[in-house]
């Protein structure tokens, strides 16, 4: 098996009988309205990937993990002329991704259910599908030539890895995201010290998730992929050089892993786009001459930004007053349409203010309790969430050139909230499309309806807790305990305080923790947590426990 790194989360995996191209993101336009650019640049690989997919011989597959544009690249895919290959996509409840490929004109499209195997000569391809409400993702495994590659990219399936490895056996090469891909705290107006503290905590949380995955998977090699993008827009360029943010590079991860897992024999690899790895020998059989290092990083980005400057010059647009007024009205209608469909509106305890930078005295106030969007001249609520954005950026959402989530990931907005507490429903209201609002609400209710409980030992005591995380339903039986009191979700690392009824440290969610009076005798199984930066990391009992009588 040979694995060619295509940049970001992209790979071309070749076995004796098949070729699988995974998430090729190659367009020079980048993603999220050109806010994200590939790092290192990989546009030169587009002809090679086209050739691989267009050349007959081996059975050829194109795998797209999910809809985010740093994984699903319509611009590049449109350039492929000969499409006699098979497209593999996860079978989500929302059919948009497979509908797009049904019209694409390829040999066939296979929408894969969770854990479905696609046979290939000498092995198989298997997809693992994760869908919680409107959060859709997948990961892929290729087994062939006596080797196995598991690429979970951005997929939050950490709570499933124990079972996957038990069922699938040894993994030779493993890849998982290690960098941030969210707008908090990047877009929030925090003091520098607060911003750095939040970023450091999130960065280390992401690193810890990779460490725990490696401890479970025990691969022979780990490829650092789905890492940070390059931010080349002049308004975002400083993000590349912040002392601490949620976009670390691979050397920082490797330093963490070497301290966290000093005896793990896994090789840590940071390939450049175009490098080819032999999965059997774990040697690079081909490496490109251009390497991005810590020493040349700043100069590399400055040259890259200069080469791409034309993209951002073409984006600039000065709006007439009448255009701003029209965009303001359209945005108000869009927000009201969302609000009309948000039947969990009564859970949001603060209004949302939206300000167009071109019209700072005409704020839109979203009143969730009253289900109204009004125009006001100033923020009059002490408790509020606020978003500031330019009309020239938000109009691309209203024109359906971007969806709401892509816009938020462009980082071309400023956010603030008081109190500084995560509001899941408000967060979803901002990021979800109008047509997905009802599904978003149904997903929250479905997660909350899971009443199964489990037990956990912490600080010398035993508690019963809800087994599934109230955020997106992760199985907390695969979680761990930190500082003798906090249950940590394995998917997004939310912390729940057992000494405070299982309340989340950062929002109003809870695991409804109850102490168990008599702790049973006997030892408990540890899951590789003795080297983690926490007091104890006991395994959680997987056996369901009847809810305690109140």
Structural domain for 511, as ranges = 450-515
Structural domain includes residue 524: no
Q: What is the model's pLDDT at position 548?
A: 30
Report how far residue 71's alpha carbon sits from residue 87's, in angstroms, rounded to the nearest whole number.
Answer: 14
420 and 391 in a single domain? The answer is yes
Structural domain includes residue 162: yes
Report how far residue 100's alpha carbon sits from residue 77's, in angstroms, rounded to the nearest whole number.
Answer: 11
427 and 482 in a single domain? The answer is no
Report how far residue 174's alpha carbon sits from residue 153's, in angstroms, rounded to the nearest whole number.
Answer: 10
What is the pLDDT confidence band of residue 530, given thresholds at 50, 70 and 90?
very low
16 has pLDDT over 50: yes
Split into its structural domains, the chain has a count of 3
529 has pLDDT over 60: no
User: How much of the chain, in percent, has pLDDT values that exceed 70?
Assistant: 94
Distance from first CA to last CA of the chain, Å, rounded?
57
Structural domain includes residue 136: yes
Tell me the average pLDDT across 156-161.
90
pLDDT digits (tens, 9 = 90+) for 40-81: 999 999 999 999 999 998 999 999 999 999 999 999 999 999
Q: Is 540 helix (H, G, I), strand (E, B) or coil?
A: coil
CA-nearest of 412, 226, 227, 230 to 303 is: 230
15 and 125 in a single domain? The answer is yes
Q: What is the model's pLDDT at position 449?
A: 84
Which residue, chain included where needed, has tokens 């109230």? 470
Q: From residue 278, give the alpha-carbon distance in Å to each of 147, 219, 245, 350.
A: 10, 14, 33, 54
Q: Find the range with the poorest average confidence among 360-374, 385-399, 508-522.
A: 508-522
545 has pLDDT over 70: no
56 and 200 in a single domain? The answer is yes
Q: Find the range with the poorest average confidence among 221-230, 394-403, 457-466.
A: 457-466
Domain endpoint, select from 417, 443, 469: 443
Structural domain includes residue 520: no
Q: Which stretches within 365-463 are classed as H helix?
A: 391-398, 404-409, 424-431, 437-448
Higher pLDDT: 353 or 504? It is 353
pLDDT digits (tens, 9 = 90+) for 423-474: 889 999 999 999 999 989 998 888 888 888 989 998 888 999 998 888 878 8
CATH code, 114: 3.60.15.10
Report how far residue 522's alpha carbon sits from residue 53's, in angstroms, rounded to the nearest whole number.
Answer: 57
Report how far residue 184's alpha carbon sits from residue 97's, in angstroms, rounded to the nearest whole number.
Answer: 27
Structural domain includes residue 537: no
138 and 238 in a single domain? The answer is yes
439 and 454 in a single domain? The answer is no
532 has pLDDT over 50: no
Cβ atoms of 49 and 79 closer than 8 Å: no
User: How much of the chain, in percent, has pLDDT values that exceed 90?
Assistant: 76
Tell me the average pLDDT across 115-130.
96
Structural domain includes residue 316: no
CA-nearest of 523, 446, 516, 459 to 486 is: 459
154 and 245 in a single domain? The answer is yes
Q: How many residues does the chain have?
A: 550
Q: What is the model's pLDDT at position 518?
A: 60
124 and 254 in a single domain? The answer is yes
The two three-digit tokens of residue 413, written as one number: 């907005």
Cβ atoms of 366 and 335 closer than 8 Å: yes
What is the pLDDT confidence band of residue 133, given thresholds at 50, 70 and 90?
low
39 and 96 in a single domain? The answer is yes
Domain endpoint, select from 443, 469, 489: 443
CA-nearest of 233, 220, 434 to 335 is: 434
Tell me the average pLDDT across 17-39.
97
CA-nearest of 543, 536, 528, 533 to 263 is: 528
Indicate the average pLDDT of the chain: 91
Structural domain includes residue 408: yes
Q: What is the model's pLDDT at position 409?
A: 95
246 has pLDDT over 80: yes
35 and 111 in a single domain? The answer is yes
Report how far residue 282's alpha carbon sits from residue 437's, in angstroms, rounded to the nearest whole number.
Answer: 46
336 and 416 in a single domain? The answer is yes
pLDDT digits (tens, 9 = 90+) for 278-319: 999 999 999 999 999 999 999 999 999 999 999 999 888 889
3 has pLDDT over 90: yes
Q: What is the model's pLDDT at position 494?
A: 84
Strands of the 267-269 sheet, one edge to the other: 117-120, 123-132, 135-144, 147-153, 173-177, 221-225, 267-269
Strand partners for 363:
376
Domain endpoint, select from 394, 423, 443: 443
Cβ atoms of 117 and 88 closer than 8 Å: no
Report how far residue 464's alpha carbon sits from residue 544's, in angstroms, rounded to the nearest whole number.
Answer: 10
Structural domain includes residue 546: no
188 has pLDDT over 50: yes
CA-nearest of 45, 26, 83, 89 to 63 is: 89
pTM above 0.85, yes or no: yes
Q: Is 263 helix (H, G, I), strand (E, B) or coil?
A: coil
Q: Strand runs (DSSP E) across 372-525, as ranges?
A: 372-376, 384-389, 414-418, 453-458, 461-466, 480-482, 486-488, 495-497, 503-504, 514-515
CATH code, 461: 2.102.10.10
270 and 419 in a single domain? The answer is no
Q: What is the model's pLDDT at position 480?
A: 85
pLDDT digits (tens, 9 = 90+) for 466-522: 988 888 788 888 788 988 999 998 877 888 999 999 998 777 788 888 999 765 443
CATH code, 401: 3.30.1050.10
What is the pLDDT confidence band of residue 227, given thresholds at 50, 70 and 90?
very high
């Amino acid at each position: 098996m040979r694995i060619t790194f295509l940049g970001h989360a992209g790979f071309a995996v070749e076995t004796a009988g098949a070729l699988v191209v995974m998430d090729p993101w190659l367009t020079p336009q980048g993603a999220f309205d050109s806010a994200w650019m590939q790092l290192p640049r990989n546009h030169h690989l587009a002809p090679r990937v086209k050739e691989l997919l267009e050349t007959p011989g081996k059975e050829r597959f194109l795998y797209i993990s999910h809809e985010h544009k740093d994984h699903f690249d319509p611009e590049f895919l449109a350039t492929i002329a000969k499409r006699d290959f098979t497209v593999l996509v996860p079978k989500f409840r929302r059919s948009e991704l497979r509908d797009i490929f049904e019209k694409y004109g390829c040999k066939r499209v296979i929408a894969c259910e969770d854990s479905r195997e696609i046979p290939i000569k000498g092995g198989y391809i298997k997809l693992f599908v994760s869908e919680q409400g409107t959060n859709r993702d997948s990961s892929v495994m290729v087994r062939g030539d006596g080797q196995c590659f598991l690429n979970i990219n951005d997929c939050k399936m950490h709570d499933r890895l124990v079972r996957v490895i038990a069922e699938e056996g040894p993994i030779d090469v493993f890849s998982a995201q290690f960098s941030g891909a969210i707008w908090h705290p990047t877009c929030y107006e925090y003091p520098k010290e607060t911003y750095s503290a939040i970023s450091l905590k999130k960065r280390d949380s992401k690193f810890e998730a990779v460490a725990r995955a490696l401890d479970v998977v025990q691969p022979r090699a780990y490829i650092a992929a789905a890492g940070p993008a390059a931010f080349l827009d002049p308004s975002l360029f400083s993000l590349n050089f912040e002392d601490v943010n949620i976009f670390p590079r691979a050397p920082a991860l490797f330093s963490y892993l070497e301290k966290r897992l000093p005896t793990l024999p896994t090789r840590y690899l940071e390939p450049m786009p175009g490098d080819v790895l032999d999965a059997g020998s774990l040697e690079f059989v081909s490496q490109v001459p251009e390497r991005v290092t810590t020493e040349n990083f700043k100069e590399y980005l400055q040259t890259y930004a200069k080469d791409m400057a034309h993209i951002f010059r073409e984006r600039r647009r000065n709006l007439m007053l009448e255009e701003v007024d029209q965009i303001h009205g359209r945005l108000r209608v869009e927000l009201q349409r969302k609000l009309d469909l948000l039947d969990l509106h009564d859970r949001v305890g603060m209004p949302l203010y939206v300000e167009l930078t071109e019209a700072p005295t005409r704020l839109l106030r979203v009143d969730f309790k009253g289900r109204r969007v009004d125009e006001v001249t100033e923020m009059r609520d002490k408790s509020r969430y606020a978003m500031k954005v330019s009309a020239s950026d938000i109009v691309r959402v209203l024109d359906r050139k971007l969806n709401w989530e892509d816009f938020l990931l462009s980082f071309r907005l400023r956010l603030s909230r008081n109190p500084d507490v995560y509001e899941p429903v408000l967060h979803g209201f901002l990021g979800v499309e109008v047509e997905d609002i009802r599904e978003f609400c149904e997903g929250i209710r479905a997660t909350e309806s899971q009443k199964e409980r489990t037990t956990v030992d912490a600080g010398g005591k035993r508690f019963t807790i809800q087994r599934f995380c109230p955020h997106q339903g992760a199985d907390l039986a695969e979680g761990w305990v930190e500082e003798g009191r906090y249950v940590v979700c394995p998917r997004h690392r939310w912390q729940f305080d057992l000494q405070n009824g299982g309340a989340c440290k950062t929002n109003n969610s809870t695991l409804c923790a109850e102490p168990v009076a008599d702790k049973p005798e006997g030892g408990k199984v540890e899951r590789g947590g003795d080297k983690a930066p926490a007091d104890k990391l006991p395994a959680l009992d997987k056996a369901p426990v009847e809810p305690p009588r109140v």
